[in-house]
Amino acid sequence: MRWSSVLLAAILLAAASPSVEEKRISIYSTVANYNLPVLDREGHEYVGLLEILEPLGTVSARPERDHWNLRFNNVNAEFTFAKKGCKLQGRDVDLGARFLLENGRGLVPLPSLIVLLPRFLGGPVTLHDNSRRLFIGDVAVHFTAQIKKTEPPSLVMDFSAPVNPTIATEPGKLRMTFTREPLVPPGTTTLTFDDKTIPAASYSESNGSAEIAINSSAALFASFSHDGRTITVSTAPTAAPITNPAAGNQSSGTSGPGMAGSPTVLPQLAAAVFAVIDASHGGEERGAALSDQLAEKDVTLAIARRVRQELLNRGLSAMLLRDGDTTLTLDQRVATVNAAHPAVYLCIHAASQGRGTRIYTALLPSTNNSQGPFLDWNTAQSGFLARSQAAAASVASELQAKQITARLLPAPLRPLNNIATAALAIEIAPPGSSIADLTSSDYQNAVASAVASGLATARGHLEDAH
């Protein structure tokens, strides 16, 4: 009885203990970038040789009893189970540890790749041993980082090829993890800057990926430009508290907005920006051709800039996802927005069909695979939909007050469903029959002003729930 209890406890403890991260190796080449699992055998790290070579050319393997014959393009190799050496094009090669065969799969010690691969591929390879990152040929992506002394200051990072890292934020730090990019360290792994807000950044590598961590005394926000070759990291502006003019400046207390008769002072955003404004399309993606000369991407950017200004005029912090003619994928937009944790995300579209404006919230698929704190990518918006609809209704109300047609509709429109905060999209059509009206300053200002007023009215609701 006692033994069975101990055994049960041991099983439960083992099950409850955190699982160790699976070891992986990343391979970067001109043909493909990929990663594979690394296995611990006999005190060494092993990797499947066939899997390494498969994306790089024509490869076949034939196990025969204790032998394993491999052919890659025109190169033949013969491996023998439990032997520390192999024959490659008739020549002996030392593997450094025993060759293993598991269910017909040939495993070679990880360090032996720097001996084997040049002979198979006919070119140099570089292996970062500790981080398990293998570079085949001249594929490295380099980067530079420099502080731009603007207000607020920003760190501009230029990469020699487009990158798309995973971005995560935590208090005082922004981390960019590069798994698919053959990023190599700069001259020194610790970069220091002459700036109090962003004093330093560090480069590190582990388990098949590279990471750049940027330290800051404030919350950081990353935006992409130059087709993914430039990442600009800047501090997210904070919103100044606004006082309800109707109530007057009697007190600076923290009464809730719903308390009748008391001054309404909304809580100051500690770190996050209030609104992220997304001028849809951009760069190579022109969006709809509104006329022979007018592309949707240009109209959306012009209106997005006006909305930002209108929000700033109301004391609300706002940022543009793109402030130029930049190509951004939907995933890049989502990653940036979700990392910034704004109170609201507003995506701007323009159209030649119809009149006035349409305000969209997400039409979500019914399947929701969210588990605990991990949100399902396709339905990340589900927990925020009521807030999005409230913000959309507020914006529609302000537009109608300015005699601008506004309809509220759901739509299967990415990236609304991927956004983990209140999210809405507005499609702006001309007020009359002439498409030229879409570019008129008066119309764009009227729309921008109404949108900003609508969001400002919904601010209490958006930030309370945020």
Partner 1 sequence: MIPRHLVIGVSIMLAAVLGIGLYLWHVRGREFAIQPASSDTRPVAPPISGPTEQVTLYVADDNLGTIRAQSARIPLPAGRQQRAEEVLRALLGIYLDPNSPHILPAGSEIREVYLVDPGLAVIDANAAFADGHRSGVLVEDLTVASLVQTLSANIPGITQVKILVEGTQRETLAGHIDLTASFDVPAVSQMVSQLQNSQ
Q: Which residues bind partner 1 (CB under 8 A)?
A: 281, 285, 287-289, 296, 349, 351-354, 358, 360, 363-366, 378, 407-414, 417, 425, 427, 429
Least distance from C-beta 207 to partner 1, angstroms? Answer: 30
Q: How far is the CB of 433 from partner 1 (least distance, A)?
A: 11
Nearer to partner 1, 104 or 365 (CB): 365
Residue 321: CA count within 13 A, CB half-sphere: 33
Using CA atoms, how far apart are residues 183 and 160, in angstroms rounded to an integer? Answer: 9
- DSSP one-letter code for 81: T
In angstroms, what is the minimal distance from the CB of 222 to partner 1?
24
Q: Which is nearer to partner 1, 322 or 349 (CB)?
A: 349
| Residue 173 zone, left/alpha/beta (φ > 0; ψ -120 to 50; rest) | beta
338: β partners: none
Residue closer to partner 1 (CB basis): 68 or 384 = 384
Structure tokens at 425: 């999209």
Query: Residue 431 and residue 39: Cα distance in Å, rounded?
Result: 64
Residue nearer to partner 1 on the CB measure, 413 or 451: 413
Q: Are 267 and 308 in contact (CB under 8 A)?
A: no
Q: How far is the CB of 451 from partner 1 (least distance, A)?
A: 16
Whether 174 and 220 have beta carbons less than 8 Å apart is answered as yes
Q: How far apart are CA 421 and CA 223, in angstroms?
A: 18
Cβ closest to partner 1, residue 70 vs residue 277: 277
**Pair of tokens at residue 412:** 């299967």
SS3 296: helix
Least separation in angstroms between CB 365 and partner 1: 5
Shortest Å distance, C-beta 342 to partner 1: 22
Name the token pair of 374. Answer: 């991990």
What minimum distance in Å lies between the beta carbon of 363 and partner 1? 6
Q: How far is the CB of 6 from partner 1 (least distance, A)?
A: 48
Give 108 or 429: the residue with its C-beta nearer to partner 1: 429
Name the residue among 459, 276, 449 with its Cα closest to residue 357.
449
Q: How is the beta sheet containing 422-428 ordered, strand by strand? A: 318-320, 275-279, 344-350, 422-428, 357-362, 406-411
Cβ distance to partner 1 smaller for residue 110 or 385:
385
CA 207 to chain centre: 20
CA torsion sign for 333, 338, 342, 348 is positive
CB 238 within 8 A of CB 197: no
Find the shortest distance in angstroms from Cβ 404 to partner 1: 13
Phi, psi of 313 (to 5 degrees): -60, -25
> Residue 23 or 414: which CB sits closer to partner 1?
414
Between 264 and 352, CB nearer to partner 1: 352
